[in-house]
Structure 1
């Protein structure tokens, strides 16, 4: 039965620069959730319908995303967008152009001086690792989740905690030194058993996949098993569940892009999932259904907006081909065009790798696209020459504006959209 446990806080008298309230010792309540394995979840009519709609939409996106000549391009772009949005929910705000320039600089110089970009790039790396680690029917393991977390923490001042469950109390909200007025996850001694139960639940097939992903994510955030990075790691878990169930094997639905437009509602949904008392109580069922329904609706909206973006980028490709015509289908320039959607900042070296042609051939292709106004030269890192496709960033900005508005229209957003 889910319950609150009263814990005694440690004194902070030895810490300077704190208010009397923060320095004072005191007690606080930690929340210990119900186990998931064996718990009965009954979806009410509206929630079941929302889940069914979401599963149909996700499966259709995965099956029919063919407007781009290379589905991997769309997959890579949506994966990046998902990781960026997941990071944004945690306060890591960065635009696509700035992120990609930092990525290119790191490729040249071995590192980037943009601290925010380093964290977001680690999130992209972690999400990519996660979705590659599990395919249809394969087990989600503790090792997969800890590897994801290790990638997330790489290059941060908490790297030493990467890949390990916490052995200290953490909390969400309150002050940095005192958990009053905060949500306080279960004490560290409960984490191993709760995570083992969660992983076992994530490998069951009793519930619809979207409902299972929603519950697994909410439970992960409730446990908060790591010192930091729980939000981003927990959103990777969503895609692991959907991959294991065979719903999104090629293209991920960027659900974090929708959740990021309504962060307060997202947090409220997770909070409502955390009931007190028996798991079959009316309050427990109501909270679970409200969260699952909200999550399913976010999935459906994410798929709809991703499909709109796919159509727009397909139209952009068609315009590019007209501008450089005539162009042989097997030429390096023609082969490079679709890759620019997923990799809008390139060098001659990366272009050669993308189209599997020689460096001089790739360089000549870049020159042709520069002459056509599709690429423009820029400098990244210290002195290194690279090229960007500015129209891709414009298209991505339109996508962000689309996601930032509940009505899906690409006009002035109802939440801030990062600048380049």
Structure 2
């Protein structure tokens, strides 16, 4: 298929004594419009999968709704790993925000992203705040408030030229819009976010907006992480998801070479349909996998609650209380349980040992805080 779209213009400039060509993208949506004929089956599959996942969210346990923060933290981990961080699920679960200071920049970046996700979703769902440039700046400020990016204008759009790949703008793989064209690009981008063209469904909007955000690269740091989060924010704001339990970082991380190649090819050729095929495939696969994982996790919780009631007798209430807490923190310690549930250390340890006795939890010696208790089946499902 031939694509005759102009995707943008190159603006020549001099930086550091070198001639560079920065790219200024055309405003969305693509012109001529997307040819959705070949994508309809994928669009329907992706929409159906997201719908099933959204229905699954209604089956999440009430109250603390444990899967929600856990999914958010796992997305923060995977998205940060794309950028090269080395933190693990264990690091996140064992971090005590009331007592600990981050032991590494890697972990701090993951924790910041998790907080940025929470902030953005709270603003959209509880404050009825629109997805806009101001909200993106608020999340960016949280994302870079500490760690390696703290000196890179947290919460502010860049005022200098950045680039992608290479050691300097002159040998870069790609040079985003120059600072004096950034307001124009971002104004067009925000208008697209607020547009209500019936031909642009939320899934199509999310796919287009993600790629355009990466092309604009409006911040000095954190663009990739924020751009991936943008996908879920668009779907939540549009009402396709009541809860933020769909994230594409795992899919992108598994297909990183294809992801980067298509970002570049779409910018160069205007073949938005090829990018959307990849994107919608990712949405469909991720939503289908997330639905199965959520179903397996919910079934595990219920099966384990029954085992606790049936086998622990008078010790069951305290064990059930700790079991519920471990749905949020799949690896824990007696000290963490004592602090979070406001119970004595002996009570916390006794409940954990009872969960070990039932076979729900196993013990392991950890480098931090000594004895760790791991919610075995749940942790295995999260780690897949």
TM range (shorter): 0.7 to 0.9
**Residue 27 of structure 1: aligned partner:** 19
1:126-177 CA-partner distances (Å, limit 9, x unpaired): 12222222139751122210111111112223313110101111111011x3
**Residue 308 of structure 1: aligned partner:** 292
TM-score, normalised with respect to structure 1: 0.79
**Residue 392 of structure 1: aligned partner:** 378
Equivalent-residue separation in structure 1 for 2:88 and 2:110 (angstroms): 10
**Residue 57 of structure 1: aligned partner:** 49
**Residue 260 of structure 1: aligned partner:** 253
- Note closer, same or farther for the CA distance 1:72–1:366 as it changes in structure 2 (3 Å cut): same
1:179-212 CA-partner distances (Å, limit 9, x unpaired): 4141110101111221122122112221100110
Moved more, 247-256 or 313-322: 313-322
Contact 1:209-1:242 at 8 Å conserved across structures: yes
1:154-303 mapped onto 2 (5 Å cutoff)? 154-160=145-151, 161-175=153-167, 177-206=168-197, 207-275=200-268, 283-284=269-270, 287-303=271-287
Contact 1:81-1:254 at 8 Å conserved across structures: no
**Residue 82 of structure 1: aligned partner:** 75
1:376-419 CA-partner distances (Å, limit 9, x unpaired): 375675x587643344332223x2xxxxxxxxxxxxxxxxxxxx
Deviation at 1:352, TM superposition (A): 6.3
Deviation at 1:300, TM superposition (A): 0.7
1:1-22 CA-partner distances (Å, limit 9, x unpaired): 6111122131xxxxxxxxxxxx
Contact 2:164-2:173 at 8 Å conserved across structures: yes
Equivalent-residue separation in structure 1 for 2:118 and 2:144 (angstroms): 15
- Note closer, same or farther for the CA distance 1:92–1:367 as it changes in structure 2 (3 Å cut): same
**Residue 89 of structure 2: aligned partner:** 96
Equivalent-residue separation in structure 2 for 1:211 and 1:182 (angstroms): 27
What are the ranges of 5 or more consecutive residues in structure 1 without an aligned counterpart?
11-24, 276-282, 400-420
- Note closer, same or farther for the CA distance 1:359–1:195 as it changes in structure 2 (3 Å cut): farther
**Residue 19 of structure 1: aligned partner:** none
1:226-257 CA-partner distances (Å, limit 9, x unpaired): 00110001111111111110011214212111
1:364-379 mapped onto 2 (5 Å cutoff)? 364-373=350-359, 374-376=361-363
Deviation at 1:79, TM superposition (A): 1.8
Moved more, 42-51 or 325-334: 325-334
Contact 1:8-1:26 at 8 Å conserved across structures: yes
Answering whether residue 5 of structure 2 is matched by residue 6 of structure 1, we say no
SS at match of 1:332: helix
Deviation at 1:334, TM superposition (A): 1.9
Q: How many residues align?
A: 369
Moved more, 48-57 or 290-299: 48-57
- Note closer, same or farther for the CA distance 1:339–1:298 as it changes in structure 2 (3 Å cut): farther
Contact 1:55-1:209 at 8 Å conserved across structures: no
TM-score, normalised with respect to structure 2: 0.85
Equivalent-residue separation in structure 2 for 1:394 and 1:246 (angstroms): 31
Contact 2:164-2:172 at 8 Å conserved across structures: no
Equivalent-residue separation in structure 2 for 1:38 and 1:288 (angstroms): 8
**Residue 135 of structure 2: aligned partner:** 144
Equivalent-residue separation in structure 2 for 1:96 and 1:305 (angstroms): 19
Contact 1:108-1:384 at 8 Å conserved across structures: no
Contact 1:380-1:386 at 8 Å conserved across structures: no
